[in-house]
Amino acid sequence: MTQPKKLYIKTYGCQMNVYDSERMAEALGASGYVPTDAPEDADMILLNTCHIREKAAEKVYSELGRLKGLKAGNPDLKIGVAGCVAQAEGEEILRRQPLVDLVVGPQSYHRLPELEARARSGAKALDTDFPEEDKFDRLGARPKAQRGPTAFLTVQEGCDKFCAFCVVPYTRGAEVSRPAARILDEARALVDRGVAEITLLGQNVNAYHGVGPDGADWGLARLIRELARIEGLERLRYTTSHPNDMEDDLIAAHGDCPELMPYLHLPVQSGSDRILKAMNRKHTAEEYLRLIDRIRAARPDILLSGDLIVGFPGETDADFEDTMSLVRTVGYGQCYSFKYSPRPGTPAAEHDQLPEDVKSERLARLQALLNAQQEAAQQAMVGRTVGVLFEKPGRMPGQLVGKSDHLQAVHVDAPAELVGRIAPVRIVKAAPNSLGGELA
């Protein structure tokens, strides 16, 4: 009996890469691969890369350097680079690191079986095209194996916004929405495998406009309402959104669709209109704040998350104080903040950069404010009863860990049979990044 080949995938970056890695594993399953958590046991290692963070490409090359020993000990080991760094670097990866056997961009991973076969024959395999065919059509149905209670589901890819700091339009391509019928089918299959909560993914997920089964144009709100009709699908979330695509019906869905959870990640990036214009965000701080007011009017208990960049080229002390003012006004439940770092090929990279010590000082001040807001949001949960979807055992015996309606981690002493189910939990204590509760 032929032994199955083993596949190890290391995933960097966002939830879309997590979803992509799952689909890559499924695609290579047809070529006889089974997953392994041990790279030293693998017959193929794939690095599914992200180009958002600073020095992303250099980190990939460093990781490849660490794999040289494995390759030396197993000449049959195949090593591949996938994702956004693969798309951006292409042939340069093969030139700089001869140990790499294949390079595949995020729009071409449905071709992995063909690329793997080419690599097995001894040739170098490269595919960073933006193919005309729909990769999701080519990937086919997902396996029937039981899954955990939560899952990601990509509904939209690419970006047409061209923010001055961002590489996504160049690595993921133009905005494309999947047909709604295929999304519904995939969601039903996930629910059949034990999934109770689905997070819809897209680079600009609320820009979703796909063809519905009725031939009409479906926006994200229509898609969410139809997904909510699937029996057994108890929770829906979506990420990441752009303020300019927050349509009226989507705001309304937050108030009248109980399956849509009261959590929203809505990046703003800066509180300064001057910097927002330089970033090509095409909205003002006031427009963002008015949008937040409308969303909270529809769902008063919603927890808001966002992204903020400090030290963008040209940012003055006054611009930074505008950001601090916006944060105080919004009152985020959680927020991600970063120092600006240039991405080659983006417009902002061509401008003079602020000193690192200025960026660091501003980031420290911003994060102190954001941490205080998050701690306040956590403490405000104490005494409340919330629904918790239990996902796995905790570190302590008899403990389970799950997520609240607001996406907060909750630790509870509870029986193991509650894994995969939603139960009411009374929150009794709060820490900066998690909550403690007891079954209500």
Which of 320, 347, 369 shows the shortest CA–CA distance to 170? 347
As annotated, the residues of the chain forming the CATH 3.40.50.12160 domain(s) are: 5-127
58-66 long-range contacts (CB < 8 A, ≥24 apart) are 59/12, 60/12, 60/85, 60/89, 60/93, 61/96, 61/97, 63/10, 64/97, 64/99, 64/100, 65/97
Q: Is 159 annotated in some ligand binding site?
A: yes
What CATH superfamily is the domain 385-439? Nucleic acid-binding proteins (2.40.50.140)
Query: Given 3.40.50.620, 3.40.220.10, 3.80.30.20, 3.30.530.20, which CATH number is that of 135-379?
Result: 3.80.30.20
Closest listed residue to residue 223, CA positions, set 242, 234, 209, 235: 209
The candidate with the shortest Cα–Cα distance to 14, out of 263, 204, 180, is 204
- Residue 391 carries which DSSP code? E
Task: List the one residue out of 370, 277, 362, 361 whose CA is nearest residue 326.
Answer: 370
Residue 271: other Cβ atoms inside 10 A? 24
Q: Report the amino acid identity of residue 169.
A: P
Architecture of domain 5-127 in CATH? 3-Layer(aba) Sandwich (3.40)
- Distance (Å, rounded) from C-alpha 290 to C-alpha 422? 34
Cβ pair 94, 104 in contact under 8 A: no
335 known ligand binder: no
Q: Where in the chain is the domain with CATH 2.40.50.140?
A: 385-439
What's the angle, vertex CA 407, arms to CA 363 and CA 223, rounded to 5? 110
Segments in the chain below pLDDT 50: none
How confident is the model at residue 316, as a pLDDT? 98
Q: What is the pLDDT of residue 222?
A: 98
pLDDT of residue 306: 97
257 is annotated as contributing to ligand binding: no
Q: How far apart are CA 7 and CA 215, in angstroms?
A: 40
**Annotation-wise, does 84 bind a ligand?**
yes
Backbone phi and psi for residue 399, each to the nearest 5 degrees, phi listed first: -105, 140
pLDDT at position 130, please?
A: 67
Residue 364's Cβ-count burial label (10 Å; 0-12, 13-18, 19+) is: exposed
Tokens representing residue 199 in the block: 């997070």
pLDDT tens per residue across span 125-154: 998 876 655 656 666 655 666 678 999 999
**Residue limits of CATH 3.80.30.20 in the chain:** 135-379
What's the pLDDT at 84?
A: 85
Please provide the distance, in angstroms rounded to a whole number, between the alpha carbons at the two ends of the chain.
Answer: 52
Q: Please state whether the peptide bond connecting residue 154 to the residue before it is cis, i.e. omega within 30 degrees of 0.
A: no
pLDDT digits (tens, 9 = 90+) for 93-130: 999 999 999 999 888 888 888 999 999 999 999 988 76
Q: What is the pLDDT of residue 302?
A: 98
Residue 62 in contact with residue 99, Cβ under 8 Å?
Answer: no
